[in-house]
């Protein structure tokens, strides 16, 4: 079960970050404020997931520099960049680096709230997908080498007789392995099994070629 997300607000302007913090809390959105990107990065390893709001112009580490570091670290939290007048070039650069939105000051309260809700929706969707992918990987790990061979044949769309011929075992044995695969993967149907393979990124399962 996913915990409630947190919005991380980064701005060296105390009045601006406090104003955003108050606005978010007034809409029942949990938020934490930081006076610099450096301060945020220092707690990032233990930070609660959600999304990030960052000003683009800050001393030491700018919003653009922060986006680069987050990408290098593999951080998946959506980032909203706040820009001042004349920062359009920086905003475009930020979008190219993965920012999901940029807001030009001054912006309407509802514009920020809508952007945050959209970003949190992206995070929730991504978090659900990651959780599902991890669960499918756990199920894949329970398969024997021969069951993996059969699974590979099934997701390739091959009928039992063809899989049996390729593995040099009887079609009846393939049926047994297929039932085991469906059970271990908790797949309700063959289409469900294929969907799991797509979600997990399975392309070519490694097999020890040993029957069990």
Residue 56: per-residue pLDDT: 92
- The whole-number pLDDT of residue 203 equals 53
Residue pLDDT, tens place only, 53-76: 999 999 999 999 999 999 999 898
pTM, entire model: 0.66
How many Å apart are CA 82 and CA 145, to the nearest integer?
A: 52
| Confidence (pLDDT) at 90 | 85
CATH class of 6-130: alpha beta
Kindly state the helix (H) or strand (E) to which residue 6 belongs, with its residue range. strand 6-10
Per-position DSSP letters for the chain, written without gaps between them: -PPPPEEEEE-S-HHHHHHHHHHHHHTT--EEEESSHHHHHHHGGGPPPEEEEEES--SSS-HHHHHHHHHHHT----EEEEE-TT-HHHHHHHHHTT-SEEEESS--HHHHHHHHHHHHHHHHHHHHHHHHHHHHHHHHTTS-HHHHHHHHHHHTT--HHHHHHHHTS-HHHHHHHHHHHHHHHT-SSHHHHHHHHHHHT-SS--------
pLDDT tens string 192-203: 888 888 878 765
Tokens of 114: 């809508």
Task: Write out residues in the chain with pLDDT < 70, as ranges.
Answer: 1-3, 202-212
CATH of 142-200, one of 1.10.287.610, 3.40.50.720, 1.10.10.10, 3.40.50.2000: 1.10.10.10
Q: What is the pLDDT of residues 84-102, one digit of tens each?
A: 877 778 888 898 999 999 9
- CA separation for the pair 130, 27 (Å, rounded): 28
DSSP state of 45: G
Domain boundaries, the chain: 6-130, 142-200
CA dist 108 and 111 (Å) reads 5
Domains 6-130 and 142-200 share a fold: no
What separation in angstroms does the CA of 136 have from each of 27, 140, 190?
36, 6, 15
User: Looking at residue 200, what is its pLDDT?
Assistant: 81
């Amino acid at each position: 079960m996913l915990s409630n997300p947190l919005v991380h607000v980064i701005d060296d302007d105390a009045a601006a970050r406090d104003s955003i913090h108050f606005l978010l809390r007034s809409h029942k959105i949990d938020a934490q404020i930081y006076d610099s990107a450096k301060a945020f990065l220092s707690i990032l390893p233990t930070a609660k997931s959600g999304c990030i709001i960052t000003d683009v112009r800050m001393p030491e580490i700018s919003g653009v520099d922060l986006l680069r570091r987050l990408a290098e670290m593999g951080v998946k939290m959506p980032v909203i960049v706040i820009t001042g007048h004349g920062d359009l070039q920086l905003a475009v650069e930020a979008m190219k680096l993965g920012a999901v939105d940029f807001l030009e000051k001054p912006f309407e309260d509802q514009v920020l709230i809508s952007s945050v809700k959209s970003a949190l929706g992206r995070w929730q969707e991504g978090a659900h997908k990651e959780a599902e992918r991890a669960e499918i990987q756990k199920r894949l790990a329970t398969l024997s080498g021969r069951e993996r061979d059969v699974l590979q044949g099934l997701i390739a769309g091959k009928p039992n007789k063809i899989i049996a011929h390729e593995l040099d075992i009887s079609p009846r044995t393939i049926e047994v392995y297929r039932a085991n695969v469906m059970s271990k993967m908790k797949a309700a149907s063959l289409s469900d099994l294929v969907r799991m393979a797509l979600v997990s990124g399975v392309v070519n399962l490694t097999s020890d070629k040993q029957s069990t």
